[in-house]
């Protein structure tokens, strides 16, 4: 996850020498993950402002999922010879 290759190498070298505490590694990873998740959180906050849009998105997603599930079910039935059900 870490794009800072130089900083990562410094940590690796410290690990090899010994004395690199878990809390240091965890704090760095937590910071990286927070940065990665920030755009997702921002999008979620924008969507939360319009509940109607969220419900519409859920309805559309449900319809697409049902179509895919129906196709998959038909393929499975055909594969195992249950063409009459």
Sequence-distant (≥ 6) Cβ neighbours of residue 47 within 8 angstroms: 53, 54, 57
Q: What's the pTM value of the predicted model, to 2 decimals?
A: 0.58
Tens of pLDDT along the chain (85 residues) come to 788 999 999 999 999 999 999 999 999 999 999 999 999 999 999 999 999 999 999 999 999 999 999 999 999 999 998 876 5
Number of residues that make up the chain: 85
With contact defined as beta carbons under 8 Å apart, do 4 and 32 qualify?
no
With contact defined as beta carbons under 8 Å apart, do 33 and 1 qualify?
yes
Distance between first and last Cα of the chain:
48
């Amino acid at each position: 996850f870490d794009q800072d290759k130089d900083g990562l190498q410094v940590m690796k070298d410290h690990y090899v020498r010994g004395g690199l505490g878990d809390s240091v590694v965890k704090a760095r990873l937590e910071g990286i993950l927070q940065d990665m998740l920030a755009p997702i959180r921002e999008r979620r906050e924008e969507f939360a402002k319009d509940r109607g849009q969220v419900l519409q998105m859920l309805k559309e997603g449900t319809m697409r999922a049902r179509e895919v599930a129906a196709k998959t079910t038909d393929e499975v039935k055909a594969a195992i010879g249950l063409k009459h059900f």
